[in-house]
Amino acid sequence: MSEVPQGLTVPSRPRGPPRPTATMTLTRDGPSGVEVLLGLRSPTMRAFPSYWAFPGGGVSRVDHAAVETLTELQGPEAATVACILREMSEELGLAPAGNGVVALPEQARRDIIEDKSNWLPLAQSGAFDVDRSGLKVLSHRITPPFGPVQFDNAFLHLHAGDHTNVPAIDLEPQTEFTDIMWATPADIIGRWKRHEIKVAPPVVTLLMEIERTLARMERSMTAAAEDIAQRLPGRRSILFAHGVEVVPIKTATLPPADHTNCYLVGDPEGEFVLVDPAVRMREDMEALATAVERHRGQLKAIVFTHSHGDHLADMSLLKEAFDAPVWGSEHTHQSVPCDRILEDGEVLQLGAQAWQVLITPGHHPGHVCLFSEAGLVAGDMVAGIGTILVPPHTGDMQVYIQQLERLLGLKPHLLFPSHGPVVAQPMRVLKRYITHRGARHERVHAAVNAGLASLADIARQAYEDTPDAHPGLAEDQTLSHLMALEREGRVVRDNQTWHTLEA
């Protein structure tokens, strides 16, 4: 992504109120202590594919209707309770009962999977109990502003008792989860820190809260849940990976994005760097300063991935909060004086973590990525929301595609973009970017080859398959492709017109 090209007006996205959702933190007393249930989300899921997460879903009309009909649901958070009971029946085939859980009748579960509206009449008929007595709300968290849609998620908890009394869970009828695991919070967090598994960011921080509270409550989950429910802790950190925390900063970037991700990158117990702290408002500077103060390590430097305005800071404002050197590439040094020039291939040792510097031009000269076992801090090479622009006069479309191929060869664990949420399937996304850009490159060449000569006509045909593309941005990116084709020797420019070379 980048700043909107001068002279173009691109409407920003409207934001409605957060959508209500609910997730279930189901626990049991296992052989080695309290265990939590997580499900492995299918790779075809839109949100957090191939991540371990809590069961749950969005509050629906069925849930509101259930609240009006079933007196057993009355009480605080009635709609979210109805939602999580319905989701439990569908995804896990379980229902709360007394001090534990019971398996749903097989046919009842299949009926709910076929049509969630069946849950209410089945509940009314007594096919299973509707028991909310053991449920507690542990936390409410609104998803960060960088996503396409915001959700107000209620994290509910149910303790199922001893593991020997918990029914086996059959995943065969449903499609959301491909696997489940019961494990202690400490074991899950340990595997996450070693980058062995991907765990949804809000799940990570809640598991950390549960583990801290269990340590204070003599490993009693009942007491820990009561303590957390009374405090209702909110989100403090957004942890995309071990050693990668994100703080969204409001910026004038290309819609639909309206934030730039600032990353705290490095050892949570040692040295770390701030990547792209693009603060222009005091409120954002204070939020970032709070995150740095909360971090248990030592701030070593400020790193800018590149010199587009939605990545650079008001340096006087930034220096009020942080007394740290600035690092960047030679090209970034021309816009912001850098105390250290980063070179391609060098390794930044940040406490116990090693991050390799990659100079990846194409989107912008001197663009910097950082790579480690955790994944790739990708800057504007990819986006978690929206698209990436390759400016005609400072970018290079051919080089950009080459650098995407280079990143693909690294096989990163995750991608941490400057705009939007973490990219869960790096290989799939990088391949899609390469294929898409390559195809667009050939469509532009084909338009010129067909005799179209003006930029507007070439763009119109090249973007014929994308009717919703903003006309100004389509022309801007078409010009980037034309200039790359010119460097390749495949087209020539004659004043304001373009032609293919004669064979």
pLDDT digits (tens, 9 = 90+) for 335-385: 999 999 999 999 999 999 999 999 999 999 999 999 999 999 999 999 998
Mean pLDDT value across residues 169-174: 93
The encoded tokens of residue 115 equal 């049509």
Mean pLDDT value across residues 235-253: 92
The encoded tokens of residue 204 equal 């990570």
Number of domains in the chain: 3
Q: Whose structure tokens read 């209620």? A: 154
Residue 83 has pLDDT above 90, yes or no: yes
Q: Which of 111-125, 229-243, 276-290 has the lowest mean pLDDT?
A: 229-243
The residue among 231, 265, 299 that closes a domain is 231
Residue 244 has pLDDT above 50, yes or no: yes
In a shared domain, residues 325 and 385: yes
Q: Which of 61-65, 146-150, 485-489 has the lowest mean pLDDT?
A: 146-150
In a shared domain, residues 260 and 301: yes
CA distance 4 to 386: 12
In a shared domain, residues 254 and 177: no
Contacts of 36 (CB under 8 A, 6+ apart): 25, 26, 27, 182, 183, 184, 185, 188, 207, 210
Phi, psi of 75 (to 5 degrees): 140, 180
In a shared domain, residues 209 and 261: no
The mean predicted confidence, pLDDT, of the chain is: 93
pLDDT at residue number 253: 84
In a shared domain, residues 265 and 135: no
The encoded tokens of residue 210 equal 């549960």
CB-based burial label for 150 (10 Å; 0-12, 13-18, 19+):
middle
**Residue that wins the pLDDT comparison between 503 and 501:** 501
Mean pLDDT value across residues 184-194: 98
pLDDT at residue number 503: 40
Q: What domain range includes position 170?
A: 19-231
CA distance 173 to 92: 9
Q: Is residue 490 part of a domain?
A: yes
In a shared domain, residues 287 and 365: yes
Helices marked H in 450-491: 455-462, 471-488
SS3 percent helix, strand, coil of the chain, rounded to 5, is 35, 25, 40
In a shared domain, residues 159 and 227: yes
End-to-end CA distance of the chain: 37
CA distance 211 to 245: 19
The residue among 231, 258, 275 that closes a domain is 231
Mean pLDDT value across residues 328-341: 97
Assign residue 161 the CATH number of its domain.
3.90.79.10
CA distance 61 to 285: 41
In a shared domain, residues 367 and 464: no
